[in-house]
Structure 1
């Protein structure tokens, strides 16, 4: 009899151990029935640390937001494939200039499971589609207001239309002496007599090229460059600037007054649209959170 009871107890312990193994995940939050475990929070914290962030509460709240995002995407019939997530992973690797294998190695070395990053990317991709489908249509921008703001930004330095050529003293792969190439560019500039002879003059120098930029309005260029060009006449050339590929100068082949607000409006529209969309997106998510059943265990 004693042996039978002992055998029953051993069997019960085996069953219990199978049901709740050592180190089993513990539910920390439930979001509309979706559970978030301590393991997920711990993993998100490790990802935070890799990004220079911290905070258990912040990690938990991010996971709650992502659960809500995925639920809203599902409600709208949006699904994110594994292939899309893999492509997003590849995008992360490219952004930090490493291979996919190296990215995975970095994650593993810092104790981050690859699925942790994939989960975040899946939520981000889903939310991006929610934004396009349900939130962007809410953003309204006034063309009249944009035109008024654009007109106010016009000044003498950005009221010209140009036809330009770029003269570049190349440094292949960004390598070489910038000071030496700048000195050569300055010598070229002193001898420059207009766009018609730009190519012929460049032949006197090694690794110098003349590129037709074509028509550009001042509002398409950085402010400092637009101001410099505004002070030049046709046949003038800007001071040398070090760029990614070498040392660059812009030659003015044609110049005409043109108070065009097209590009200013485009930039303003993008800025205003981004700000408005950000506000609408935050309000939309806040509304979803307000309706969600969130239980902290």
Structure 2
């Protein structure tokens, strides 16, 4: 499994959480509502998590907050078993990243959380658990996720359309400037004189502000669908119809065209999609198994 796939999936487990920071609340008597592997979860922790839910627009309420805290206690217990620790610096960095993601300064985010009555420990506990669980995922879950290359090949071949089954070496001929009607007319005159890639530059010398750019090798799946369909109907030495682009009018000339055997481009997307799905499923199963074996006592 490519590291990039897992990195994106693992990163999504943190970024998806709107976490917070605020001033400490006055100390008062707390009642333990749940104990998870010896770790107590109090009524104050639950009420604080409910307030955090409210800030996020999460309607999970007391039940949802309790379940999330149980999950986090289980996750932290597993992290401890695996020798995983989370430093205060990691927590601080995660908080800063959240502030940036929602385009707030750290001070503004603190103020928002303070106004919501959210305690500092609520943020720290949730952040620490999320970071620890990402580490557990990387260490214990990712190695279990396997994607069959044979299966990817079969799926990729099944998804490949006829017009996508070509590799090209292309040149772009672009007529630079505003006035799309005039530039399109110039492009069509060029097109009528085009006799293959070898003479592409020579022909362009007869036109003002015309440039020939070596695009290089492209698989049809790397091209916009409309262009891929048009090029599929042309032979080597053919040139596409003019199309208006941001800086003028463009055409693509086919210098080489071969039947594609490399499905890398489609397989890359499939691998990412299947990898993320498989990882998400495996992480959920791993946590569910941990909860089944955890000692959870409700008071």
- Specify if TM > 0.5: yes
1:218 Cα deviation after fit:
2.8
Worse overlay, 106-115 or 157-166: 157-166
RMSD after superposition: 3.4
Map 1:97-246 onto structure 2 (within 5 A).
Answer: 97-162=103-168, 163=170, 188-189=183-184, 191-192=186-187, 193=190, 196=201, 201=209, 214-221=216-223, 225-232=224-231, 235-236=239-240, 239=243
Q: Retained in 2: the 8 A contact 1:166–1:213?
A: no
2:257 alignment partner in structure 1: 256
1:83 alignment partner in structure 2: 89
SS at 1:231's partner residue? Answer: helix
SS at 2:209's partner residue? Answer: helix
Q: Taking structure 1 as reference, are residues 185 and 57 closer, same or farther at Cα in structure 2, changes over 3 Å only?
A: farther
- Structure number with greater Rg is 1
Question: Partners in 1 of 2:173 and 2:112 — Cα distance?
Answer: 42
Question: Partners in 2 of 1:238 and 1:84 — Cα distance?
Answer: 53
Question: Partners in 2 of 1:56 and 1:168 — Cα distance?
Answer: 64
Question: Partners in 2 of 1:39 and 1:168 — Cα distance?
Answer: 68
Q: Retained in 2: the 8 A contact 1:80–1:126?
A: yes
Deviation per residue, 1:170-192 (Å, 9 max, x gap): xxxxxxxxxxx9x8567645543
Q: Taking structure 1 as reference, are residues 126 and 228 closer, same or farther at Cα in structure 2, changes over 3 Å only?
A: same
SS at 1:36's partner residue? Answer: strand
**1:60 aligned onto 2:66:** yes
Worse overlay, 67-76 or 150-159: 150-159
2:279 alignment partner in structure 1: 277
Gaps of 5+ in 1: 1-20, 170-180, 204-209
Gaps of 5+ in 2: 1-25, 192-199
Q: Retained in 2: the 8 A contact 1:44–1:116?
A: yes
Question: Partners in 1 of 2:93 and 2:138 — Cα distance?
Answer: 19
**1:265 aligned onto 2:264:** no
Q: Taking structure 1 as reference, are residues 291 and 253 closer, same or farther at Cα in structure 2, changes over 3 Å only?
A: same
Aligned residues: 252
Question: Partners in 2 of 1:52 and 1:187 — Cα distance?
Answer: 54
Question: Partners in 2 of 1:185 and 1:70 — Cα distance?
Answer: 62
TM-score where L is the length of structure 1: 0.71
Question: Partners in 2 of 1:93 and 1:154 — Cα distance?
Answer: 42
Q: 1:71 aligns with which of 77, 86, 94?
A: 77
1:48 alignment partner in structure 2: 53
1:34 Cα deviation after fit:
0.6
1:155 Cα deviation after fit:
1.2
Q: Retained in 2: the 8 A contact 1:158–1:227?
A: no
Question: Partners in 2 of 1:42 and 1:106 — Cα distance?
Answer: 17
